[in-house]
Amino acid sequence: MAPDAISDDSAIILDAVDKFLERDVRPHVRALEHADEYPAEIADKVAELGLYGATISTEYGGLGLDARTYTRIVERVAAVWMSVSGLFNSHLIMAAAVERFGSEEMKREYLPKFASGEIRGGIALTEPDCGTDLQAVRTRARKDGNDYVIDGTKMWITNSIKGECLAVLVKTDADAEPRHKGMSLLLVPKSAGYKARKLQKLGYRGIDTGEVEFSNVRVPQSMLIGEAEGRGLQQILAGLELGRINVAARGVGVARAALEDSLRYAQQRKTFGKPISQHQAIQIKLADMATRVEAARLLVERAADAYDKGERCDLEAGMAKLFATEAALENATEAMRIHGAYGYSPEYDVERYYRDAPLLCIGEGTNELQRIIIAKQLCERSGS
């Protein structure tokens, strides 16, 4: 298959996504984003499209999409409103953990409901004093009879308020050495009793992001993801490979949107008697922006292809995430400069790109961490 070729099934799905974005998302973005209002109707239409089951296998009711097709969807969505991609990204990482490591009973019970969007959720990793260093989590899960009792706090958790379920990284053995051997992953429904409080954000508005408190939250031991305790960190890191590819695809989408808006504006806006697109200073910016988009997309496709082949792809995913998210930030900044004072106005989408893009450099592992991962993998693969 040629690099840009797509299957008929994928083409149908992408066409449906494009129509959904133009009909149901684009007309409402500014109002919902400025009000920081959860896009409930859009979230339901995401379910109708089947995107909550995008990467869940068809055996469990999902679409079973390959990572390449999935990244094309994410890019399209992020180019219109990045927040919508958050509805299903964290959800699908949770689902991937269950599908890869959960018991057959757990899979049969939850995956069809995840795929349909009947149950929506996400992953609860980050804590107030723990971001990148996941081994430092303090949320505890102690055994009590046939249950786990969970106590702790998680921060910046997507889908924690409107969602119904979270995959929660906990310490089941606080004294284990090395630390990761004391970490486990639990599937925790909201009905178990955790509380979520909405957090305010500079960008990535509309989608719910919360602080989640677990206080004597009780779940059966059957909600442990995996056959035994102590594998939680490895399980969630496996899911974060796809998560980083997703965030990289978001970066391509935001970078592309910033380019397209800037190109359109530069052809309309005139100074000194001609469109600013004819001024060399603007032409240089546009050329650099376009090059970033294409290079970022190629890195995302490379990482997606490696993921689809079942290859280890932390190097490829890290490179894609690093470059594409920095491209989004740089393009958003350049778009602001090209638009001048209008770029600072909420009447233009550029100011939203400028607020959304920095999150991409932080989420799913900071770009500083990506550089460390890339360097370590380079040394490992070269045999050093």
List residues with catalytic annotation.
364
Alpha-carbon distance of 316 to 174, in angstroms, equals 33
CB 119 within 8 A of CB 68: no
What is the Cβ-side half-sphere exposure of residue 167, based on CA atoms within 13 angstroms?
31
Alpha-carbon distance of 365 to 243, in angstroms, equals 10
User: What tokens appear for 13 in the block?
Assistant: 């799905």
CB 376 within 8 A of CB 318: no
Alpha-carbon distance of 314 to 318, in angstroms, equals 6
User: What tokens appear for 150 in the block?
Assistant: 């969970």
CB 166 within 8 A of CB 212: yes
Alpha-carbon distance of 380 to 350, in angstroms, equals 41
CA distances (Å), origin 279, targets 260, 283, 289: 17, 6, 16
φ, ψ for residue 320, nearest 5 deg: -65, -45
Among 333, 341, 237, 252, residue whose Cα is nearest residue 292: 252
Three-state DSSP class for 121?
strand
CA distances (Å), origin 291, targets 187, 361, 364: 42, 19, 24
User: What tokens appear for 7 in the block?
Assistant: 């299957």
Gyration radius of the chain's alpha carbons: 21
